[in-house]
Every structure is written in structure tokens, then in C-alpha cells.
Structure 1
Amino acid sequence: MDGLLIACSFIGAYLIRFNQDFRLFISYFSHHGWLLPWAVGSGLLLLAISGWYRSLTRYSGSHSLYALLPRAAILTVGLWLIAWLNRGVMPPNSFWFLYFLLFTIGSIGSRIILRDLLRFQLGRVQPADQFRRTARRIPTLIYGAGRPGASLRQALQNDRRFKLIAFLDDDPRLQGRKLQGLTIHSPEKIRSLVEKHQIKQTLLAISTLSRHRKRELVDRLTECGLSVLTIPSLAQLASAEIVVDELRAVTIEDLLGREASSPDPELLGVGVTGASVLVTGAGGSIGTELCLQIHQLGARTLVMLEQTEFSLYSLEKVVSAQHQPGSELVPVLGDAGNKVHLEALCKRYAVDTIFHAAAYKHVPIVESNLCVGIGNNLRCTASVIDAALHTAVKRVVLISTDKAVRPTSAMGASKRVCELMIQNAAQQVAGSGQGPIFSMVRFGNVLASSGSVIPLFHQQIQAGGPITVTHPAITRYFMTIPEAVQLVLQSTGMAEGGDLFLLDMGEPVRIADLARQMVELSGLRVRDQQHPGGDIEIQFTGLRPGEKLFEELLINPMDQETRHPLIRRAREPQHASRDLAIKLDHLNRELNDWNDQGVISSLQQLVPEYLAEGKEAESQSANLGQGSEQMIDNKYTKTKN
């Protein structure tokens, strides 16, 4: 084809130059016709050597077409040199310009036509199984008519799964115009477009989209019965590197949480970079992320202590995949409550910092296994304190929970006692003037943890329901695990001894609304009074023993700001050392006697605000009643003061 184009361009340039005067054309061509085979031969050779034929025509874009320009210029100059070296009668100067122009236009135009024909044919000819899967193309909108939207539209040209109907964009300057053949509409026209074209889904293609704005958009789209797909990486959208196979449904995790905050580099590596670090409970959700981030920060040695064999095996695979030169990984199978073993580890690996994340955290499980659950949490904390005091450990950080505040569960009460033990250890160190810096970090629920309600809701939706929620007004805070751990690591750099840090958890989320949103994101409807023909019902089962209606982070409302905007320092009451020792000794005797009621009584002596068996939660429920419905603005906004 290129040989024919070169020949036609050569002859066409003469015809145009002599205004289609065939007598002049024949006269000149008789002198210069010998150049035609040179033009064809040298042109094909140049295109082959320069790699022009290695590109796939059906995927060629503007970049590959523009690449033809220098080749056409070289071909024209080369042909001129051949004519000049022959020292015969030279073609007119205008011939060379016309030849270059005709060859360039002909080559680019022919390739565009061929590319589109190939794409059309590719769209029609598919394997039988693929054709069956894509016989019904899904009517689809693209939300966002900027560069990412245009790139997504181009990437989907050959994809037979999507029948692209139109663009949506908030910019009034774009509305009514066309982009790659599709009209750009205002979002106000969503419902009319859905009804007219039976649209089923929307593709989000906006690179600068905050979580708050994404929540608003998803709410609006799901209310119209549309499923919503997005690209995993906003960086891909921003750079227009769209991979069609990476389109996925928007998940509830995309909508919860908040925008990532920039870490304080002066705080982030304190006690970690270049240090020997031990993490207890390393195989858990928080423990795993601690190990990952500590390893990334360049710890000299990372001792990962985990009592579950498979969790330790999985953890080692994940962390070792992030190769860090000069960093030693030490996976250790063991119980954080074994004082002898823990102290030996601290000495053997010269541990500088301990992050104590090992604990039983599932409220209902601990509630029904009081002695084992509480005993484990207290024993592990005591073991960490003893190991730190008897070795050269410089820092100890306890991972606590918002359930320790005015606890209604045995698990929450046990974590509050662990906080008191850490505070007491810090007092002892302050009195002696030497020893590790003890601190605690308290925060609420994290997304995708082993105890999170979100995986449970996913399972219930996949099973066809019902979704079980304990109370219509129950709320929880949610934070991503990486953000929580990053803040924990930064709090370490601000610890002075006995500090109790609180993480800003963002806004509380009503669990019933969370469940409803997850159903809608699955392309289904909640079955309720407004939609009796819906797909999945939400059932309210009542608060479980020890469960609170809403979580708190402070016992004493007096807290202080720190240098980090998302970390605050609490000032809360603590026991005198002797008083704490006596009460802990009494609790240990009850634990050894397996006396559940005695354990509860001892916990209430240590934590006076602890009310067992969920009485606090029941009183909250009775006080709030229907009024709690009015405390929540909508699915994701904060409770009003």
C-alpha cells in the first residue's frame, strides 16, 4: 500500500504542478520518470528500517501518526539528493513540496481509515463464548468530560461490554457540546437519560474527586438505580493511562474514611528508622500494617511476634516482598504473654521499640469467655511492661481502643486496665529517672479489619440477605488501617512518658445507612415500607451484650492539641501505684479461680465507669430513642452538637 501511495504522490505532484496539463506532464515525466522506482524503493526501505511497520495499525493514535512526518521529510530530501547527484534536469522546486504534502496526507488518511475498519471488524468478530457474554451491551454513561473521560471513552471503543450513551459533566461550558461523538449533558438530566436509554451503569472518570464529592455523586447515581464503576488508581485517570480490565465497582471503602493527610517527616521515623522494633500481635490487621510501614521506614531489625502459625506465614510473605536493603526480618512464633520468651527476644535482638498490638478484641467473644479474654489482654500487657523494664527497650506503645472509654464490655474494660498499667509503668520510670518512654494510642474502628462489620455485610448481601444490624441508631467511626498506623507511628515521636494519644477518627457513620449504601452499591434495593418489592431486607436484632450505641474517645473531656492536627493528647485519671497493684492482684485471683462474676466486680473496682452486661448501652438506647434518628444528617455526615 505504501509503494502505491508513493507512486501516486509522485505522479500527483506533477499533475498538480502543471495544472493537469498532460503535455507538460509527459514532457517532464519523460526526463524524471526514472526517479519513480527510486522513490518507491527508497521509501519502502526507509519505512521498514525506521520501524514503521512494527506498530499495530488498529491501536495507532495521534502519536504514531505524527511520527510519519519526519519519515516523509527524510524520504523527500533523500529523493531530492538522488536527483541532484544525477546532475540532470531537476524537477521544479514546488514539486518537492507537493510530493511531501501528498505522501503525508495520503499515508495518514489511509491509516486512519484502515485503523477504523480494523476496529470495526474487531468489534464484530469475537469468539463464540465472548460473543455470548457481550451480546447485550450495557447502556453506560461516563461521568466526567475532561481528559480522563476522553481517554476512557477511547479505551472503550472496542469493548463490546459497554454501549456508551453520553457524558455527564458539572461544567456548564461543556454541556451541550460533543466529545468523541457523544453529547455532554448536565447531571440534572440523569433521570431522563436513564428512562430514555435504559441506562444501567455509570463510569466515574474524574481525577480530582474528593471522598465527600464522590459520596455525593454515588448517592445521586445509585438513587437512579445505576451501578457505579471506577478506576482503582486516580493517578491512572490523571495521566490518562486507562486500563479497561481494571474498571471495578465503587466499594463502600471508597466512600468511607477521608482524604489522606501528609505525614510529619520529623515524627514518622522516631523510634523506628535504624532501630530494632518488636511488634506483638503482628499477624493481625493493625499488626500487619505496623510491620509493613515500619519495614518501609527502614528499621534495622523487625521482630514480628505472632501466636498463630498461618498468620505469621502470611505476614512474612507480605512484608518480605517489600525488599529493604539492610533490614532484618525476624518472624517469631510465640505468645506475647510469655514473659521469659519476650524478655529473651528483647535481649537477643537489642529491641529499641515495642508496639504492643496483641489482644483479644472481639466484644461478643470476650464477653462469653471472660476469664480467657481478660486474662490474655492483661497478661500480655504485663509481659511487655516487664520485658521493657528489664532490658534496654527505649519506647513502648500500647495500641488501645475507643471501647476503653466508659466501657460496657469486658473487652473494653480490659483495655482500660491495660492503659492504667501502662500509665503506672510510666510513673515508675519517671520516679526512677531512667527507663523506656511508655505511651498509648486510642482509636476506633478501622476498615477491613478482621472484626469489621463491612466483610459481614458483604457476605450477607451475596447470600441474598437479610443484613443484620443491632440498632437503627447505632453509629461507629471508621478509619483506614494505613492512616491509623501512620498516625500511631507519628504519635511515637511526640511521646514524653505516660501519654495517651487520641486519633481524630473523622465523622461517625450510622451503621444502618452503611448497610443500605452497600446494598445500593451492589445494584440492589433495600426491601422496606417504601420499596416492598426490594431485594434485601435490613433486620434489627438488638444490641449485643457489652455493645455501645455510639463510641467515645475521651473519659475526661479535657484534652490537648499536639503538633499534629489529627492527634490529641488526653489527660485522664489514673490509680496510685499501690492501689493499682492491690486491685490487679485481686483481679488475678478471680481470673485464676475462673470466677466470672468476681472478675466483673474486680474490673468495676479498677474501672468504676464500667457497667457490665450492656447496661450503659441500654440506657443510651432508652435516652436517645427516636431522637437519635434526628441526630444524623445523612449517611455519612457528622452528628450535630
Structure 2
Amino acid sequence: MINLLRSTIETLPRFWKRVILVAFDALALIVAIWASYALRYAVWMPVITEERVVLSLIAPVIAIPIFIRLGLYRAVIRYLPDTAIWTILRAMGIATMIWIIVVFLMEMSGRGVVPRSVPFFYFAIGTALIGGSRFAAKVVLSHGTGMRRDEQPVFIYGASTSSVQLATALRGAGNRFVVGLIDEDSDHHGRDVGGYRVYNPANLPRLIEQYGVQEIILSLSSISADRRQSVIGSISGLGVKIRTVPDISDLVDGRYLANQIREIEIDELLGRSFVPPDPKLLGGILEDRVIMVTGAGGSIGSELCRLIVQWKPKRLVLFEANEFALYKIDRELQGARCEIVPVLGSITHEARVREAIRGQGVQVVYHAAAHKHVPLVEANALEGIENNIFGTMTVAKVAFEENVSDFVLISSDKAVRPTNVMGATKRWAELIVRQMALEAQRLGRSQHFCAVRFGNVLGSNGSVVPLFKQQIAQGGPVTVTNPEMRRYFMSIQEAAELIVQSSALSNGGDIFLLEMGEPVRIGDLAENMIRLAGFTVRDAENPTGGIEIQVTGSRPGEKMFEELFYDMANALQTQHPKILRADSTAIAHHNIVDACKDLRDAVSAADEQAARNVLFGFIGMGSQAEQGET
């Protein structure tokens, strides 16, 4: 019955809703006058006189214009704030005072006497009827025993002022229906906060089933990162979507907005501690300098560009071989506070690289251009060698000859004792950069060549995270090569910040290692992403689950466990707690120049097997010496 009434009211045009509200108020005020006389004389049917009929009819004539003036008919009843009671009290107070003046004038004309208690009864009863009817309608429309068919029941995790503000914002936007609040404080359990019942999180499984909740929104900006991670972990397996909102202090207008609700990102479950970037390191290497980023349209390269333009460089050169990727990042950075110069070209094209560096007066190079997808590079070894090794040699050589002051190679954890072509080419690239640093030191130049080595970046091109997201959105299955594989992960923003700060710490010839935390089991990563999306994992223990995880088998060149980036006994601390410096003195004796000639001959002859032999053989020859470094 209530659902039918609510549905009927909601489908009425706004005009007719106001007409019904005005008619109800007029009738309620007439009833209030009758009830006032009944209470005064303690009888159900007080004597009806001409004066009393006139006063009853005059009451709504006086009050309705006042109600209109004070906005009682502008408010949407469904979203009526609790503070509206003060407007109702004010409106009834003014209407009662004017009604008393009319009564006084009638008494002066000899039209009868109104008992002094009647106006007080009229004010109290009128306020109760006008205000009570509106808040009763609000309960029926907003809370009631059910909700609109198009509404989605949700819980808000947290019972703070921010949570109530969020719940209030959700009333007027979208189709979310806030069932209640969840809070761990036992003092709040069973109580109402801002008109919403607070529940114990231990009862969440039963509450989700009882109310058909499909989503839980976290409003936990005041708790620690560890506690937040624990909360997310405790509710991620309940078969509901988990979303969050930004810290209220981050919002310009100081209020939660419904459109700022976002999905929980997988990096929030990695448990990585956050260290704010050092402004002195960033500003010292970036401000008022001409900087070039190779691979500027890639995931790491583009994030580096976004960071660089925030620090007011003199000029940023975007060097990219992919036309569309270059167009995208160039368009995104338009309006930056520095000059943006897009350059379309390959890092293997020496003349094009020299033209960009010399023509723009480049002072700093971040070399992010590379083929990074392990299976693809494994299947196209010669191209991987050409791009990752000889491309790096070309850019480093030109940078050296054009007296670029800082050169930074973006390397990979797969360069540590590599088992695949991609990792091996990255190791060669590190050795090439080290050789350039030694040459600069020999000639007494103040040029700094260094490499920054780190693991997987969440959301980067080729990362498993975007692939898992796509597969989950399609309803599964989620494919993993081996669930027992373990990988290191960090956010792309953190990686960019640490890369730039590492370059500011370089003395020349350094290999910097970014602290990556604990490795993540790929099977756990897939399960967590499925649960964060609001699904359950379908397996032998839960055959009716939502999304299945399929094991496809390891691909060529893949390791089960990515090794740590360094031997802790030989890792040197820097002034930044997330950046370590490898002891790379052992690799000074690698004859990289002669090795590159042999590798070039094999590639020129299109002899992949010979190229592989040189590629891995050279690294194997120096493997014992490298034990002192990694």
C-alpha cells in the first residue's frame, strides 16, 4: 500500500504536487482552528458560530501566502532537510500573529470574543500538522519500508559527520538508496546518526542478504592506511562492490559530492607505505631546464611528462615513435606552464635524435622508450634487441656527444639475472649507460648517466591489472599463467616521482633501485580484483561463484618469482627511504663496446640464434662479477 502511494505521488507533475500540498495545508489549518476550540472547551463539537467559521476560513488565507513567501512549497519533500522545522515554526508564528491581529480587530467591532488560549493551541496544532505531515511524507518517500524500483541499496562504512554529508548528497543524485551506516564503534551500534541506523560490521553478511545491498561506500578518510586496508580486506569477499570517496579536506567546496565516488583501486590493497616526494629533489632537476622524454606517449613516459610540467621546466620535448600516442600526450599537456615540443621519431634514428637534442638544447633526458612486453619481445627478439639495446646506445651516445648534463635510463627488475630477451636487453642497456658514465668521468665531464630499476607498474601498458579489469567487465574468466607467480607492484604516479628523485641523486654511473615492498601472488591479485568488483570467485569450493580464474600455463621467458632488485648486503642507502643505490663498481670491466659489435653483426645477418647467444653469453660471462652488485 505504501509502495503504491509512493509510486503514485512520484509520478505526479510538480504543479499538481504543489496544488495537493496547498489544499492539504488549508484543510489542516481549518482543522487546527476547530481543534483549538475543542481543546479549550473540552468538547468534541464546539458550538459553530458565524465568527468561528470566518476565523477558520481566514486562517489559511493568511497562512498560505506566508508559506509561499518563506519557501515551504519550493522544497522537495523527499529531500527536506531537518532544519526545515525552523522555517515551519517561523511561518506558523508569523501566520498566528497576523491571525491574532484579525481576532483583535473582530473583537473591537463587537463580533464576539476568542478565548486567549485558542491562539496558542492554534500555533501548536498548526505546527504539528504542517510540519508533521511533511516529515511523515519524507519518511514514506525516502525511507519507508521499501524504495523505488530504480534505486540501488547501499551501505556507507563509517558513522562520522562526513558519512552523513555523503548520505545527504546521495539523496539528490543518482539512484543510490542509503540503507544505513556501518561502524566499528560499539557505542554507535543500534543508534541513529543523521537519521540513519548504525550497524555492526560483524553483521554485514546478514544485512547484505536482508536488504539486497549491492554496494558499500567507504567514508574512512580519518583512519590510517593500514586500518583502511584491513577494512577493505574484510569486506572484499562479501559479493558487493566497494567504492570510496576522497578525503573531505581535498574537496574545494568542503562537501561530499555523489559524483566523486570512485572504485577502490587495487594498489590500495598492496599495503605500500607512502613517502611524500621531496620538493628539493624534484625542483632541482626539473625547474627551468630543457627536458626530453623518449617514449613520451607510453605509460611511464606520459606519467613522467605529467609530473615534469608541474615543476615549471623551460621546455619539454616529447620524443615518440607512435603517432597517435604522441598526439594524445601532446594534446593533454596543452596549456601547461612551459613550452611543449612534440617530436615524431624512432630512438634508433640517430639523426632524428640528434636533431631533437641539439635543436632544442636538451639538458636532461629521461629514456623511457623500450619494448617491454615479455612474450612479444621473446617472439620478436631481433626487434627487441634493435630497439632496446641499439636504440638506447643511440640516445645515450648522442646525449654524451651533445653534452647533456643528466641522462636517466628507465630499467626493469627483469634485468636482474634475466631469463628472457626483454630482461637481457634491459641489462645491456644498463651496461651501456654505465659505460657512458665511465667515459664522462674519464674525460672530466660533469655529465651524469644513471639507470633506475623497478618492478611492475599498476595500470601501465602490458600490465596484468588492465587485462584483469577488462576480463572482469566482460564477465570472466580471468586468465593467469600461473597463480603461484609473484611480482612486485607500485603505482605509476609513485614510480614517476621516484624516477625523477633518483635522477637528482645521481653521481654518474649509478643504478638506483626503487623499494617495491613485498611481492604479490598473482592468484591473490586476481581474486582481490574480482572481489573488489563485487563478484565472488568461482572455484571447486564455490561452484556457483561469479567469475572463474583460468590457469593458462607459463609463457616463454617468464619467471615464477621475480628476484629482489638487490642484495641487501650491497645496497647503499640514499637520502630517500624508497631509493637505494646499487654497488655497481663490478660492472666497470664489462667490454660492452666489443660485445655490441658482435651483437650488431648477428642482428645485421638476421641470425636470431647467434644474437641470442651473444645476448645471454655476454651477461653470463660477467655474472660472477655482478654478484657484488645485485
Q: If the length of structure 1 is used for normalisation, what is the TM-score? A: 0.76
1:66 & 1:384 partners in 2: Cα distance? 72
Q: Shift in Å at residue 532 of structure 1?
A: 4.4
1:528 & 1:273 partners in 2: Cα distance? 54
1:47 & 1:353 partners in 2: Cα distance? 69
Correspondence 1:545 to 2:540: no
Q: Shift in Å at residue 381 of structure 1?
A: 1.5
Aligned equivalent of 2:256, options 241, 250, 264: 241
2:481 maps to: 470
Aligned equivalent of 1:447, options 453, 458, 462: 458
1:186 & 1:20 partners in 2: Cα distance? 49
Q: Shift in Å at residue 359 of structure 1?
A: 0.5
User: For 1:600-611, what aligned pairs fall within 5 Å after superposition?
Assistant: 600-608=612-620
1:60 maps to: 80
2:615 & 2:63 partners in 1: Cα distance? 90
User: For 1:291-370, what aligned pairs fall within 5 Å after superposition?
Assistant: 291-320=305-334, 323-324=335-336, 326-370=337-381
**Structure 2 SS opposite 1:241:** coil
Q: Shift in Å at residue 597 of structure 1?
A: 2.5
1:328 & 1:75 partners in 2: Cα distance? 66
Shift in alpha-carbon separation, 1:281–1:407, aligned structure 2, 3 A: same
1:639 maps to: none
Shift in alpha-carbon separation, 1:160–1:447, aligned structure 2, 3 A: closer
**Structure 2 SS opposite 1:438:** strand
Is contact 2:412–2:453 with CA below 8 Å preserved after alignment?
Answer: yes
User: For 1:190-269, what aligned pairs fall within 5 Å after superposition?
Assistant: 190-193=204-207, 197=210, 199=212, 201-208=214-221, 209-210=223-224, 212-223=226-237, 225-235=238-248, 241-243=256-258, 250=264, 252-256=266-270, 258=272, 260-269=274-283
Shift in alpha-carbon separation, 1:531–1:55, aligned structure 2, 3 A: closer
- Name the Cα RMSD after superposition: 4.8
Shift in alpha-carbon separation, 1:106–1:185, aligned structure 2, 3 A: closer
The count of residues paired between Structure 1 and Structure 2 equals 594
Shift in alpha-carbon separation, 1:7–1:333, aligned structure 2, 3 A: same
Q: Shift in Å at residue 202 of structure 1?
A: 4.5
CA deviation digits over 1:246-295, x for unaligned, max 9?
65654535433635432211112222122221110011101111111111
Paired-residue identity, %? 35
Is contact 2:323–2:344 with CA below 8 Å preserved after alignment?
Answer: yes
**Structure 1 SS opposite 2:184:** coil
Q: Which deviates more, 92-101 or 256-265? A: 92-101
2:593 & 2:500 partners in 1: Cα distance? 30
One-letter code aligned to 1:386: K
1:629 maps to: none
Is contact 2:236–2:242 with CA below 8 Å preserved after alignment?
Answer: no
Q: Which deviates more, 202-211 or 388-397? A: 202-211
CA deviation digits over 1:208-233, x for unaligned, max 9?
3555444433443344x421331343
Any stretches of 5+ residues in structure 2 without a counterpart?
A: 1-20, 43-50, 624-630
Q: Shift in Å at residue 142 of structure 1?
A: 4.1
1:386 & 1:93 partners in 2: Cα distance? 101
**Structure 1 SS opposite 2:285:** coil
Is contact 1:278–1:354 with CA below 8 Å preserved after alignment?
Answer: yes
Shift in alpha-carbon separation, 1:273–1:40, aligned structure 2, 3 A: farther
Shift in alpha-carbon separation, 1:260–1:421, aligned structure 2, 3 A: same
Q: Shift in Å at residue 10 of structure 1?
A: 13
1:139 & 1:341 partners in 2: Cα distance? 58
One-letter code aligned to 1:561: Q
Q: Shift in Å at residue 456 of structure 1?
A: 2.4
Shift in alpha-carbon separation, 1:106–1:182, aligned structure 2, 3 A: closer
Shift in alpha-carbon separation, 1:107–1:528, aligned structure 2, 3 A: closer
2:123 & 2:536 partners in 1: Cα distance? 63
Shift in alpha-carbon separation, 1:60–1:200, aligned structure 2, 3 A: closer
1:221 & 1:488 partners in 2: Cα distance? 35
1:80 & 1:46 partners in 2: Cα distance? 15
Shift in alpha-carbon separation, 1:46–1:183, aligned structure 2, 3 A: closer
CA deviation digits over 1:345-383, x for unaligned, max 9?
222222221111000111111112111111111222122
Q: Shift in Å at residue 403 of structure 1?
A: 0.7
Aligned equivalent of 1:175, options 148, 171, 189: 189
Q: Shift in Å at residue 525 of structure 1?
A: 4.1
**Structure 2 SS opposite 1:270:** helix
1:391 maps to: 402
Is contact 1:339–1:386 with CA below 8 Å preserved after alignment?
Answer: no
Is contact 1:200–1:227 with CA below 8 Å preserved after alignment?
Answer: yes
User: For 1:592-603, what aligned pairs fall within 5 Å after superposition?
Assistant: 592-603=604-615
Q: Shift in Å at residue 51 of structure 1?
A: 6.7
Q: Which deviates more, 44-53 or 258-267? A: 44-53
1:532 & 1:303 partners in 2: Cα distance? 54
Is contact 2:297–2:322 with CA below 8 Å preserved after alignment?
Answer: yes
Q: Shift in Å at residue 54 of structure 1?
A: 5.1
**Structure 1 SS opposite 2:284:** coil
Shift in alpha-carbon separation, 1:76–1:365, aligned structure 2, 3 A: same
Correspondence 1:489 to 2:467: no
Aligned equivalent of 2:418, options 407, 431, 446: 407
2:18 maps to: none
CA deviation digits over 1:189-211, x for unaligned, max 9?
3344456x274534133323555
Correspondence 1:426 to 2:437: yes
**Structure 2 SS opposite 1:311:** helix
Any stretches of 5+ residues in structure 1 without a counterpart?
A: 23-29, 612-641
